[in-house]
Chain A
Amino acid sequence: MSPTRTGQDRDGIPNGPGAAAILAAGVGCGALGCLAFAGDASPAFGKLLNFYNPVGTLSGVTTVTIVVWLATWFVLGRLWGNKTIALGAVNIVAFALLAIGLLLTFPPFMDLLQGK
């Protein structure tokens, strides 16, 4: 996903900002799944994610997910802001992370991974 060339579309906007948003969304979804799974699989980690007692582990899962997503977007946006990126590779990674996020939030799949 390194910059392949400098270039812009007809409106003068490089694809870097779009690529940063797409990959960050994938990272956010992947982080959501990983945190949900980790919180479910490990009571100690689940307790660590209990930022707000009335909401329990979900409070940490959602807060950390949002922080990871926005931080990734910010960093990638700074790195890729004026560049043209190989978007095909970005998409593959983003879709894989989205799939991980969707799968790891599905309780029967979580249970399968934990051997329950």
Chain B
Amino acid sequence: MEITTRDLLTVLHGMGFGALFMLAFSGALAELYRISAPGAPSSMSTREQGLLAFYLAAMVILAWLTAFSGAYLIYPWYRAVPPAGLTDLSDYPRRLLLSSGKTSGWHNVGMEWKEHVAWVAPIAMTMVAYVAMKYRRSIAQHRNMRVAVLTFAVAAFLATGVAGTFGAFLNKFAPVRGGAVITLMQGK
């Protein structure tokens, strides 16, 4: 049972950071709505405030780790240029996708969209976390602030959904491969 360093880092980017960030959205959106909706309890306990702050801070860290690892660790391998004359493009995902009209759209639309829109998520979530932590329950008194926080949180969720979905498809049609081999388990 083996895995390469590039496989491992791609999994860490997509599943370790990205999927965990995506999963956290349901809890964040529900809690942000709960604390800010009209008629919500007028106070949060110190423990609840601390938990929400920790949860949102963890999401912000995951969002930035996902974006930076994707752009600065995985993407260079994805867009690497093969030596002239090479016919086996399996180690050069971008060139592999562009080599056929049946797959070029996965790069021209999928990757081109994913690589940019993904950055909306950490920017939006940083703002959401900052505002939620600064105003806490009193955010309920600021209707427009509440609207902005929820709108940007939903935008971050959608951006992450686009990036994650195309990431999964791209990894299926042209996975990033190579690097040192790590043996996880010896076969029988």
Which residues of A are in contact with B by a Cβ distance under 8 Å? Answer: 9-11, 13, 15, 17-19, 21-22, 24-25, 28-29, 32-33, 36, 40, 52, 54-56, 58-59, 61-62, 65-66, 69, 87-88, 90-91, 94-95, 98, 101-102, 105-108
Contacts and interface: CB of A to CB of B under 8 A. Distances in A.
B72 A25 contact: no
Given A22-B148, A102-B159, A107-B112, 18 more contacts: A9-B141, A13-B134, A18-B134, A18-B145, A22-B145, A22-B149, A28-B123, A29-B123, A32-B119, A33-B116, A55-B75, A58-B71, A58-B116, A62-B67, A91-B151, A95-B151, A101-B120, A108-B109
A94 B145 CA distance: 11
B33 interface: no
Contacts of B145: 15, 18-19, 22, 87
B67, B119, B134, B151: which has the most chain A beta carbons within 10 Å? B119
Interface of B: 67, 71-72, 75-76, 79-80, 108-109, 112-113, 115-117, 119-120, 123-124, 126-127, 130-131, 134-136, 138, 141-142, 144-145, 147-149, 151-152, 155, 158-159
Q: Count chain A CB atoms within 10 A of each CB in B67, B108, B115 and give the residue with the most.
A: B115
A1 to B, nearest CB: 12
Given A65-B119, A102-B120, A25 B144 contact: no
A22 B127 contact: yes
Determine chain A's interface SS by DSSP, over half rule. Answer: helix
Contacts of B109: 107-108
A91 B144 contact: yes
B183 to A, nearest CB: 28
B155 to A, nearest CB: 6
Contact of A98 (B72, B136, B155): B155
A93 to B, nearest CB: 11
Nearest to B143: A87
Contacts, number: 111
A108 B120 CA distance: 18
A88 B120 contact: no
B103 to A, nearest CB: 15
A40 B115 CA distance: 13
A2 to B, nearest CB: 16
B40 to A, nearest CB: 14
Nearest to A107: B112
